[in-house]
Amino acid sequence: MIGKLSKRGRLSMTGEHEQRQLATGEVADIAPKIWDAFTVLANAHAYARNTEVDAWEFSIEIERLLARGLETSDLRWLVRMGYLQHAREITQADDTERRFQSSPNNAFTKETCFVLTNSGLSIASGEDARPVVLQMVVASSPTLTRSDFTPRWDRVRRTLFVGNHVVKRFKLPSPNQEAVLNAFEEEAWGHRVFDPLRPQEEHVTKHRLRWTINRLNRNQEQPLIRFFTDGSGEAVCWELAESGSSANTNRKKIRVAA
């Protein structure tokens, strides 16, 4: 996608690289990082859409993506594939909105920010990024299947899995949490499900959903998955948990699935 700079420093979208299909086995080792980047950038786009502002208002700074494990070569590849657009932020303290300057090349600076292109959005939404990740990783590891990358809720055993790893077991009934997990299981773990909780007069619906999400994220035996709202308070999303001090060891065990 080509960014055209307006007089106010806002980028307009005037074209887009044709979306390419990934060759079998192409850059297999960076698949987990690409999935993570798509998730972060898609969330930013959703926030922009929800608040009815330009996507660049929620663009992601290069340092945030590098901190999540990406290399500059990963970002250049994503730009060359037509999945990302980048620009240098030139916002001043007295500006009322973020301003950017387009770049004619892929020489990134510390002010560089990124947004998803339409091709990137088509991957990150609906089917989300997993088909791209699976195409790369499964090609290099024939023993891996889609189940290695997708959560699974066993409602009989009341156990949440990611691949073969137990994330959470419910020893006592938890109707609200189980309702959310049932909804995701019924939707084959798509990126988002709408609030499945039954309205109750004594609870504010959005607050009850946030409380349920908070409980889902707590007391995980292996913190491999994170639940969050989509910004509207009317739906639940999920992502594989980012590496951190508490989850890092567990993530290393299933590196290709992360």
Q: 82-112, pLDDT tens digit by residue?
A: 889 999 999 999 999 999 999 888 889 999 9
Question: What is the band of 32 on the pLDDT scale with cuts at 50, 70, 90?
Answer: low
Rank 4-8, 126-130, 169-173 by mean pLDDT and report only the highest: 169-173
pLDDT tens digits for 207-232?
888 899 999 999 999 888 889 987 77
What's the pLDDT score for residue 231? 74
What's the pLDDT score for residue 75? 92
Give pTM, 2 decimals.
0.45
- The answer to whether the CB of 68 falls within 8 A of the CB of 242 is yes
Please tell me the least confidently modeled range out of 3-12, 117-126, 217-226, 230-239. Answer: 3-12
pLDDT tens digits for 14-27?
444 444 444 433 33
The answer to whether residue 245 scores a pLDDT higher than 50 is no
What's the pLDDT score for residue 145? 47
What's the pLDDT score for residue 107? 87
The mean of the pLDDT values for the chain is: 74
DSSP the chain: --EEE-TTS-EEE---PPPPPPPTTTTGGGHHHHHHHHHHHHHHHHHHHHTT--GGGGPEEHHHHHHTT--HHHHHHHHHTTSEEEEEE---TT-SS--EEE-SSS---TTEEEEE-HHHHHHHSTT-SHHHHHHHHHHH-TT--GGGTSEEEETTTTEEEETTEEEEE-SS--HHHHHHHHHHHHTTT-SEEE--SPP-TTS-HHHHHHHHHHHHHSS-SS--EEEEE-SSSSEEEEEEPPP-TTTHHHHHHTGGG-
